[in-house]
Amino acid sequence: PATLDAAALRADFPILQQQVNGHPLVYLDSGATSQRPRQVLQAEYDFLTGANAAVHRGAHTLAAEATDHFEDARAVVAGFVGARPEQLVWISGATLGINLVAYAIGNATAGRGAPASARFALAPGDEIVTTEIEHHANLIPWQELAARTGAVLRHIPAHDDGTLDMDAAAEVISERTRIVAFTHVSNVLGIINPVEDLVALAQRVGALTVLDACQSAPHLRLDLPALGVDLAVFSGHKMLGPYGVGGLYGRSDVLETLPPFLTGGSMITTVTLDEAGYLPPPQRFEAGTQPIGPAVGLAAAVTYIQDAGIDAIHAHEARLAARMREGLVQIPGIRLLGDAPGAERVGLWSFDVDGVHAHDAGQFLDAQGIAVRVGHHCAAPLHRRFGITASVRASLALYNTEDDVDALLDAVSGIRPYFGVNA
């Protein structure tokens, strides 16, 4: 199996070379945002200093070069998730992508797109299914869509160990279900959900599937067409790329019939004062001036990941996560969230520290140069499900090492003694 030399790769990440609060930075918050290697920063710099121009318009040389860079980037990022270029819509991030889909479905219900896209229209009593473990970005857009259309929102529950209750899923997904939106990997639990089983349940009743691939895209080999989902989203900044760019993948027949969400320049054929014709996908969903430099940066990030090897990355992170688990379970008062026996996982652990608020724990770790995320991680209902309001999350990326994990374990074992909580 391919291995990864994380210690060598770290040299590509300028931000990791610093001290924080007098300690070497231990960055364990890549689940919130990852760091960028020089290659990504350089690709954006080269584009901005050599070829920057608005794309798909203008006859000048730079405009043509910028368009080539932009469309080449699309092909690279689409290929990374097993898709064809025209199946990849640039979005600013997963939040925009899920809102785009929800608003487009709303437009299929009531907007001018309605006649051509009747297959997506919702009627009162139709059901939208999501899960108890979603990030707010894959929950609230569906709450709003339900409120606008009279559809009913239902949830697939989770077991105490964080795995989805698939028996319940088979009941919740019914003939009334029109949309099933779920995450590939929860940003709190790290468990890889059974995408194919959920897709099969949805397909049985003809429901549209929407996958949140934010936490899987940087860590797992992804073949979205093979997974069978209709639509999927991911964010560039979580996969070594820039902010402000991400991908919305769609099956061709879905993108071709889904009405647009945002309208304006760059997505039209002919326009009169009274009406407009729309371009085919992906341009139909890309109104306005696009994040061109960020798209070029994201392609460089994907290339960096491919050069390191996505399977080697997954194996490296799994090894570190196993080491982290082994250490954490030995520390008195630490409760792991989603510690499901035998579950396939990516490299992150969230935990509760008995008797210490997550924010206090986070500050204690920060004082030792260790960056973790504390709070509900935009998954308040999931924390409520576990009877807590906040947790500490340590999330890994390819540049983390055993030393990072050991520094975390050493520091976590000092939290409860520091706050005077008895073991």
Please identify every residue annotated as catalytic: 378
In angstroms, what CA-CA distances link 107 with 103, 113, 289?
6, 6, 22
Residues 200-219 close enough to bind ligand PMP by CB under 6 A: 212, 214-215
From 47-55, 131-139, 355-363, 389-397, give the range in contact with ligand PMP by CB under 6 A.
131-139
Measured from the CB atom, the residue of 117 and 193 that comes closer to ligand PMP is: 193
| HEC string for the chain | CCCCCHHHHHHHCHHHHCEECCEECEECECCCCCCCCHHHHHHHHHHHHHCCCCCCCCCCHHHHHHHHHHHHHHHHHHHHCCCCHHHEEEECCHHHHHHHHHHHHHHHHHCCCCCCCHHHCCCCCCEEEEECCCCHHHCHHHHHHHHHHCCEEEEECECCCCCECHHHHHHHCCCCEEEEEEECECCCCCEECCHHHHHHHHHHCCCEEEEECCCCCCCCCCCHHHHCCCEEEEEHHHCCCCCCCEEEEECHHHHHHCCCCCCCCCCEEEECCCCEEECCCCHHHCCCCCCHHHHHHHHHHHHHHHHHCHHHHHHHHHHHHHHHHHHHCCCCCEEEECCCCCCCECCEEEEEECCCCHHHHHHHHHCCCEECEEECCCCHHHHHHCCCCCEEEEECCCCCCHHHHHHHHHHHCCHHHHCCCCC
Residues 54-73 close enough to bind ligand PMP by CB under 6 A: none
| Sole residue written with tokens 């890309």 | 286
Q: Does 94 bind ligand PMP (CB under 6 A)?
A: yes
Cβ proximity of 32 and 215 under 8 Å: no
Q: How far is the CB of 125 from ligand PMP (least distance, A)?
A: 28
How many residues form the binding site for ligand PMP (CB under 6 A)?
14
Q: Does 391 bind ligand PMP (CB under 6 A)?
A: no
Cβ proximity of 135 and 187 under 8 Å: yes
Measured from the CB atom, the residue of 93 and 250 that comes closer to ligand PMP is: 93
Q: Does 95 bind ligand PMP (CB under 6 A)?
A: yes
Q: Out of 35, 109, 130, 235, name the contact with ligand PMP by CB under 6 A.
A: 235
Measured from the CB atom, the residue of 94 and 310 that comes closer to ligand PMP is: 94
Measured from the CB atom, the residue of 140 and 170 that comes closer to ligand PMP is: 140
Burial class (CB in 10 A: 0-12, 13-18, 19+), 332: exposed
Measured from the CB atom, the residue of 218 and 260 that comes closer to ligand PMP is: 218
Q: Out of 40, 324, 378, 405, name the contact with ligand PMP by CB under 6 A.
A: 378
Q: How far is the CB of 277 from ligand PMP (least distance, A)?
A: 30
Measured from the CB atom, the residue of 13 and 234 that comes closer to ligand PMP is: 234
Q: How far is the CB of 162 from ligand PMP (least distance, A)?
A: 14
Q: How far is the CB of 137 from ligand PMP (least distance, A)?
A: 4
Q: How far is the CB of 130 from ligand PMP (least distance, A)?
A: 12
Q: Out of 35, 87, 131, 183, name the contact with ligand PMP by CB under 6 A.
A: 183
Q: How far is the CB of 178 from ligand PMP (least distance, A)?
A: 21
Residues 133-172 close enough to bind ligand PMP by CB under 6 A: 135, 137-138
Measured from the CB atom, the residue of 135 and 284 that comes closer to ligand PMP is: 135
Cβ proximity of 221 and 314 under 8 Å: yes
Measured from the CB atom, the residue of 95 and 109 that comes closer to ligand PMP is: 95
Q: How far is the CB of 96 from ligand PMP (least distance, A)?
A: 7
Q: How far is the CB of 351 from ligand PMP (least distance, A)?
A: 17
Residues 4-43 close enough to bind ligand PMP by CB under 6 A: 32
Q: Would you tell me which residues interact with ligand PMP (CB under 6 A)? A: 32, 93-95, 135, 137-138, 183, 187, 212, 214-215, 235, 378
